[in-house]
Structure 1
Amino acid sequence: MLTTILLATLLATGAPTQGKPDLKTPYEKGNGNQTATYDEAIQWYEKLDEAYDEVKMLPYGTTDVGRPLHLVVVNTDKDFNPESVRQKDKRVLLIQNGIHPGEPEGIDATMMLVRDYLQDKKLRKQLDNVVLAIIPVYNIGGALNRNSHTRTNQNGPESYGFRGNARNLDLNRDFIKMDSRNAQTFHEIFREWDPDVFMDNHTSNGADYQHVMTLIATQHNKLNPTLAKYLSGKMVPTLYQGMKQDKFPMVPYMNHAGETPDDGIIGFMESPRYATGYTALYNTLGFVPETHMLKPFDQRVKATYKLMENMIETVHRDAKEIGELRAKAKQETLAQQKFPLDWRLDTTEVSQIPFLGYEAKYKPSDVSGLDRLYYDRKSPYSKMIKYYDEFKPTVTVEKPVAYVIPQAWHEVIDRLKTDRVQMQQLKKDTTLTLDTYYIKDYKTGQRPYEGHYLHSDVQVETKRMPRQFYKGDYVVYLNQPANRFIVEVLEPQATDSYFNWNFFDSILMQKEYFSSYVFEDLAADILKQNPALRKKLEEMKKLDPDFAKNARAQLDFVYRNSPHYEFTHMMYPVGRLTQDLKLPL
């Protein structure tokens, strides 16, 4: 009798009966303007894992807040071994949510999507050759820091997480430098599963317009040409057409060329600090969906759901082609000799794209009394606007046979290990003649950026010289899948090189100096023995009056051109081995 009453009570309250977990999401149980908390999302996926043998939730490494980073794998083969999945030639689609927890549409949309694909036979068929790998919430620390105010310009949900993680890092600037434990764990997941396609769900900031969804696809100039042709010529048009049919017409991410979209938009050149900039280094097709912040939350969730649905359908349709193209791209990367390190927008190349906007107008501000911009929703328009999406490399480097890294630079070596870079160590002390960079010039940001004072515009001079290396120093050969990653982090001129992220800053400081009154006599002797140096000094005095009046500067000039000046000052410690020598490895 008690069991009958309990069952009736459970049914009346809508609670699930035993063996049939309630897979309705917190978003669906809410009012359309609520998003799942971190704990709700993990508990929901635990239920999904229990309900379906085709689902496995795997805890990977930790995060900066101490909670594990989970990966949910959905495979109708019930195979959750990445190596085995690759052998079966199935495509892996990695979906990441909550990198910015104040932009949570992906968290809720993905929960509903994966459940629907498991429960609907027609949708389920699309998973025959597609494995879903899902990071439910990436920025866990930010997700736990819940509030209702920090997304000032956003229309819902009622409460959400914070952009910064537990260390106040923006994790979408941390992929290459790996300051956070989150990023280190992501690299473990990414390198282990080697996804064919990657989606990182976001919400946009910026102008007001009619589109609910905007999209960043991996910048095609940066992507391997084989993949770029497929991405731009087939995959992206398919996604745009599908979203148009689903009544969510898309437009590229609103990176304005001017104050408003009327001036045109510029393709997003994502360097490796960003998610898709990093994933492109391994020939993964990357996408960052950006729903429009001013649209109601339920519309943004639906648009995200529909884009992921179109993505799965496209990957399912082109599974064989994507696999073949990636395999070819990987081989081409192994053979690639020249690598671009920095890029510039080519403003001579411009196309026209359809755009659904609102008229930009101006009126007096109620705050300042000055003219302020606003978008008049009573004046919608449909027109073609300019789209600049061609970039040209400004710095290119020829890859060496190998890089040689002194073991002292352990922060760099640790990051290479995290990314599964293949390295060998010298078995004895060795003198090697190789190419060495000297840093001739660079600029440094005057304000901290993500925990660093970022360098840029690096100029180098190459010197071929003998150098002493020691037992335990690392040799990194450029004959491996990580080639592009290695070049991007170890070439100082690259936008997101480890030099630019300050991991080599101690070389920029001189350690030994001279006392002027002592060095005077020695400098005079040096000039007497080196007439060419004396001539150069006199020429500099004539060309620069300030230099001519500065005794210390003239002594410093002699000092820097003498054996007394430390040769390691401004010397980039990573050597470039350009000949395949036999090394004691």
Structure 2
Amino acid sequence: MLKSFVFLPLIFFSFFVQAQKIAFELDDKHNRTATYEEVLAFYRHLDSSYVQAKLFSFGTTDVGKALQLMVLSKDGDFDPLSLRKKNKSIILFNNGIHPGEPEGIDASMMLIRDLLIKDAVPDNVVLCFIPVYNIDGMLNRGVSRVNQNGPEQYGFRGNRQNLDLNRDFIKTDSRNSQTFQEIFNRWDPDVFIDNHASNGADYQYVMTLIDTQPDKLNTILADYMLKNYTQELYNRMEGEGYRLVPYVDSRGETPESGIVSFLENPRYSTGYAALHNTIAYMPETHMWKPFAQRVNATYALMKHLIDITHEQGSQLLAVRKKAKQSVKDQQIFPLAWELDTLNYRQIDFYGYEAMHKPSEVSGQDRLYYDRNKPFTRKIKLYNRYKPKLTVKKPSAYIIPQAYEKVVKLLALNGVKLETLERDTTLLLDMYYIKRFKSLEKPFEGHYLHREVELVTKKMEVPFYAGDVIVKTDQEKNRYIIETLEPQAVDSYFCWNFFDAILGQKEYFASYIFEEEAERLLKENRALAHAFEKAKQADSSLMKNGQAQLDWIYKHSSYYEKTHLLYPIGRLTD
């Protein structure tokens, strides 16, 4: 509803609509995407014109500009708590996480305008749009995606720190991510959509779709999502001329080798949403299709998602409530997953013939797709994963207050925290890091750890007033466990939050320690026996005097107990 032009004559109303057209529509070729300044002006105009629209500013980003959130609410209520009491569903749309993929930016502007002009905002659904998430990258405008078919200019993938923000939802190196998590947890969306464009193989589809990997989502929510959302989106999009297919991640060189369902770990937006029991989608329009087709397909998908959510009504809220309770009661949690290669299904795939010919550049054999040879054939879709590592949740985790970033991120994500009132010694299960591998080159600024092996020891550990207790009787259990358990794929440990424990702080001087090592072996027969056994089992140790001193040192009382000791304790009794 217009704030100040409700009773305008029809002719002036039409002029008003025309005045709100965006750059994409005004361009004859529909090959232009809005600049950040145009986006901001557009949303400010809507905010001042419609009682059903409100533009919020949250926090800041790495480029120093606030993150915007446009909310559409039929009754003009913009308080998340109040809206929940009214049993309204909430959808969060994210745009421009990769500003070189701007389809969602333009499609959202047109969709929001059309909903407001037609007074078509659903009465039981609140719509939240982040106009541009990576403002930093959008301001860095150019033509950096060499394979992309329009628009004329667009933003850059990296943000002001040159981070890929769709890898930053756990480690939170950017202010963008911190502000996003504030928005996400304040509004607690029932459904989330993050608009993208992809490259890779060529095929007939304008859009491929990643839905939250069902084996990773709570079973209650996953079954409901597949039947009531995913399948409906496929049906309705095909009816509008946009046939969908799962995101094309080929097992071999081309899709005919079979495609693998994308495993969205929590570092990604949709994987992050799964930790909060939110149904999530990541549409990927194909970057070689004309920009106009990509924008229109994105518009159609968002509109169908809104319609489905409106139709689902209170059922969505009831199912999600059950899923949250299920996670609260859950005892065993997967930490890592592997593809089930024995479990797949056949799907129709609409592609182009993959061919090979000599490269005009190198003379070597090269791949290309012949668009004059479209085909439809059955291919394998591997879309099932199985846990390869699980853990039983403790009653609580105890976190030293020194790890301030950990505590702040948990609080930011709605985890309930308590603190010790006085200095206390607790009997806990503690992890020692036995073995791990790290990347040889940095990934998004981190030497990510993987293949972590642990040794668990029952220990009495001193904690102090102000240290943090995280109980595991919470709806946020998945976020808690998948960040605090070191073996989880995107745990804080794997993202280098605790790397200081991996280095020794005290050492020995060999020429002095020689006499002490000799004394220790003479006075401790068990140590001497273990030492001889270790040498017999390891020929390299037998031949290396320095290594033998190091072995004795590490098995003595001098060796620091905090080396390789993961500092977060598990209360299991």
What range describes the TM-score normalised by the shorter chain of this pair?
over 0.9
Check whether the contact 1:213–1:249 (CA below 8 A) recurs between aligned residues.
yes
Please name the residue that 1:393 is paired with: 387
Q: Shift of the alpha carbon at 1:17? A: 10
Q: Shift of the alpha carbon at 1:128? A: 1.6
Classify the secondary structure of the residue corresponding to 2:19: coil
In 2, the alpha carbon distance for the partners of 1:39 and 1:482 equals 37
Instruction: Say which of 100, 103, 118 aligns to 1:102.
Output: 100
Check whether the contact 2:185–2:412 (CA below 8 A) recurs between aligned residues.
no
Classify the secondary structure of the residue corresponding to 2:436: strand
Please name the residue that 1:85 is paired with: 83
Please name the residue that 1:24 is paired with: 21
Q: Shift of the alpha carbon at 1:418? A: 2.2
Q: Shift of the alpha carbon at 1:529? A: 2.7
In 1, the alpha carbon distance for the partners of 2:242 and 2:138 equals 28
Please name the residue that 1:211 is paired with: 205
Please name the residue that 2:182 is paired with: 188
The sequence identity of aligned pairs, in percent, is: 55
Structure 1 residues 16 and 328 mapped into 2: Cα distance closer, same or farther (>3 Å)?
A: closer
Please name the residue that 2:159 is paired with: 165
Instruction: Say which of 361, 365, 371 aligns to 1:371.
Output: 365
Check whether the contact 2:94–2:193 (CA below 8 A) recurs between aligned residues.
yes
Please name the residue that 1:583 is paired with: none
The runs of at least 4 consecutive aligned structure 1 residues that moved more than 6 Å come to: 14-21
Q: Shift of the alpha carbon at 1:23? A: 1.4
Q: Shift of the alpha carbon at 1:247? A: 0.5
Q: Shift of the alpha carbon at 1:258? A: 0.8
List aligned pairs for 1:78-477, cutoff 5 A.
Answer: 78-120=76-118, 124=120, 127-148=122-143, 150-477=144-471
- Bigger drift between 99-108 and 481-490 goes to 481-490
In 1, the alpha carbon distance for the partners of 2:172 and 2:533 equals 48
Please name the residue that 2:63 is paired with: 65
Please name the residue that 1:8 is paired with: none
Instruction: Say which of 44, 48, 53 aligns to 1:55.
Output: 53
Structure 1 residues 21 and 468 mapped into 2: Cα distance closer, same or farther (>3 Å)?
A: farther
C-alpha distance after superposition, 1:264-308 (max 9, x if no partner): 100011110000100111110000000001000000001101111
Q: How many residues align?
A: 562
Q: Shift of the alpha carbon at 1:543? A: 2.6
- 2:486 corresponds to 1:488: no
In 2, the alpha carbon distance for the partners of 1:142 and 1:16 equals 36
In 2, the alpha carbon distance for the partners of 1:288 and 1:529 equals 65
Q: Shift of the alpha carbon at 1:486? A: 1.0
Q: Shift of the alpha carbon at 1:15? A: 11
Check whether the contact 1:16–1:22 (CA below 8 A) recurs between aligned residues.
no
In 1, the alpha carbon distance for the partners of 2:320 and 2:559 equals 50
In 2, the alpha carbon distance for the partners of 1:381 and 1:20 equals 42
In 1, the alpha carbon distance for the partners of 2:542 and 2:330 equals 50
- Stretches of structure 1 lacking an aligned partner (at least 5 in a row): 1-13, 580-585
Check whether the contact 2:17–2:117 (CA below 8 A) recurs between aligned residues.
no
Q: Which amino acid aligns with 1:420?
A: G
Q: Which amino acid aligns with 1:59?
A: S
In 2, the alpha carbon distance for the partners of 1:18 and 1:469 equals 68
Check whether the contact 2:448–2:495 (CA below 8 A) recurs between aligned residues.
yes
Q: Shift of the alpha carbon at 1:545? A: 2.1
In 1, the alpha carbon distance for the partners of 2:13 and 2:161 equals 39
- 2:28 corresponds to 1:33: no
TM-score normalized with structure 1 length: 0.94
C-alpha distance after superposition, 1:344-396 (max 9, x if no partner): 00100011111110000000001100000000001100111100011111111
Q: Which amino acid aligns with 2:96?
A: G
Classify the secondary structure of the residue corresponding to 1:95: strand
Classify the secondary structure of the residue corresponding to 2:482: helix
Structure 1 residues 412 and 115 mapped into 2: Cα distance closer, same or farther (>3 Å)?
A: same
Please name the residue that 2:43 is paired with: 45
Q: Which amino acid aligns with 2:51?
A: D
In 1, the alpha carbon distance for the partners of 2:88 and 2:115 equals 17
- Stretches of structure 2 lacking an aligned partner (at least 5 in a row): 1-10
Classify the secondary structure of the residue corresponding to 2:552: helix
Q: Shift of the alpha carbon at 1:499? A: 0.5
Check whether the contact 1:455–1:500 (CA below 8 A) recurs between aligned residues.
yes
In 1, the alpha carbon distance for the partners of 2:73 and 2:347 equals 38
C-alpha distance after superposition, 1:118-163 (max 9, x if no partner): 2235xx1x61211110000000000000002x11111000000000
Q: Which amino acid aligns with 1:330?
A: K
Classify the secondary structure of the residue corresponding to 1:128: coil
Check whether the contact 2:399–2:467 (CA below 8 A) recurs between aligned residues.
yes
TM-score normalized with structure 2 length: 0.96
- Bigger drift between 513-522 and 172-181 goes to 513-522
In 1, the alpha carbon distance for the partners of 2:243 and 2:17 equals 37
Check whether the contact 1:21–1:51 (CA below 8 A) recurs between aligned residues.
no
Q: Shift of the alpha carbon at 1:521? A: 2.1
In 2, the alpha carbon distance for the partners of 1:387 and 1:131 equals 35
Structure 1 residues 258 and 17 mapped into 2: Cα distance closer, same or farther (>3 Å)?
A: closer
In 1, the alpha carbon distance for the partners of 2:182 and 2:355 equals 49
Classify the secondary structure of the residue corresponding to 1:304: helix
Q: Shift of the alpha carbon at 1:481? A: 2.4
- 2:554 corresponds to 1:575: no
Please name the residue that 1:527 is paired with: 521
In 2, the alpha carbon distance for the partners of 1:405 and 1:40 equals 46
Classify the secondary structure of the residue corresponding to 1:468: strand
